Amino acid sequence: MQPLQWVRSFEATARHGNLTRAAQELGLTQAAISQHVKALEERLGVQLFERRARGVALTGAGSELYTSVAEGIGRIEAALGRFGRVSKDDRLHVLSNSSMASNWLTQRLHHFLAEYPGIDLRISTALWQTDAIGVKADISLFLGPLKQAGAAPIPGGDLVTVCGTGDVEEDRLIHVTGFEAAFEAFRKSRREKVRKRLRVVECDSFQAALLLAQAGMGRTFAPRLLAAGPIREGALHDLGPCDFHPPTSYWARIDNPHSKNARNFKNWITATAADWVS
């Protein structure tokens, strides 16, 4: 039982970046949380956190462990939540990747509500799926490999390379956090063409990357679903598919199998996305 307590203390500390807040959440003392983390580090033989004046930060090994732990806890909580939970006929809770929600989905939700006018709709957003641990949504929408059990692809998740249509910084790349390997390959390819050091602007979302590209700040890549509008409007140049990253897709996963509204939403968003990118 102890290792599971250590893992729970590790996950809470990683999520909060602070031992005190983790202790408050779990109803333990800060000393107990610290002992659990230390015991887990000794058990694994790696350092999981760097201690700082105002909290803690994950090491490389800690980040790798947190990704797996957070995903596992999320699946456990979702599975437990499905038992005895029956969605109200008039409610729908959608959890969406934040770039998709703010840059595409919210502009079209009125069409869904016009088709299903009796629904009380709630939207939650997160940059990454692991940021939404504990959110009990009826349906989840995220970008990534189709590895999620029960996930179905949403058209437009393939990545395209784009740049602004005005004066463009040829030697600058707009880098989205979380896609390091792809951007490094992208950088090497561009460096062969411009034959000088490439500068980088880094941001944490595709929405921000597309806005920077439209402002002429450089080149980037993004899901076609998000880039299609600016490309049609003449604000971005489509430079072709991105060949520097494994195939990706937006996907929809019904987390509450009792929700008829979730099934209707899944069908609606799949059809709407297909029409948008065709």
Residue 64 belongs to what H/E stretch? helix 60-82
Q: Tens of pLDDT along 20-35?
A: 888 888 888 888 889 9
What pLDDT band is residue 236 in, cutting at 50, 70 and 90?
Answer: very high
Listed residue (190, 74, 78, 184) closest to 138, CA to CA: 78
Look at residue 244 and tell me whether its pLDDT is greater than 90. no
Look at residue 191 and tell me whether its pLDDT is greater than 70. no
130 neighbors 70 (Cβ within 8 angstroms): yes
Give me the pLDDT at residue 5, please: 83
DSSP 87: -
β-strand 219-223 against 139-144: which pairing, if any?
unpaired
Share above pLDDT 90 across residues of the chain, in percent, rounded to a whole number = 32
Q: Cα–Cα distance between 157 and 143 in angstroms, integer?
A: 7
166 and 112 co-located in one domain: no
Look at residue 275 and tell me whether its pLDDT is greater than 90. yes
183 and 134 co-located in one domain: no
CATH number of the domain where residue 97 is located: 3.40.190.10
CATH number of the domain where residue 219 is located: 3.40.190.290
22 and 35 co-located in one domain: yes
CATH number of the domain where residue 37 is located: 1.10.10.10
Look at residue 273 and tell me whether its pLDDT is greater than 80. yes
Q: Exposure string (b/e) for 214-238, b if CB count within 10 Å is 16 or more?
A: beebbbbbbbbbbbbebbeeebbbe
DSSP 148: S
Structure tokens at 51: 């201690």
Residues 6+ apart with CB under 8 A from 131: none
Q: Cα–Cα distance between 222 and 268 in angstroms, integer?
A: 23
What would the mean pLDDT of 250-266 be, rounded to a whole number?
Answer: 92
Single residue among 26, 52, 81 that ends a domain in this structure? 81
Structural domain boundaries, residue 257: 86-153+248-277
Bigger pLDDT: 177 vs 274: 274
What pLDDT band is residue 87 in, cutting at 50, 70 and 90?
Answer: very low
115 and 134 co-located in one domain: yes
Averaged pLDDT score across all residues of the chain: 84
What pLDDT band is residue 114 in, cutting at 50, 70 and 90?
Answer: very high
21 and 69 co-located in one domain: yes
What would the mean pLDDT of 45-74 be, rounded to a whole number?
Answer: 84
Single residue among 81, 111, 136 that ends a domain in this structure? 81
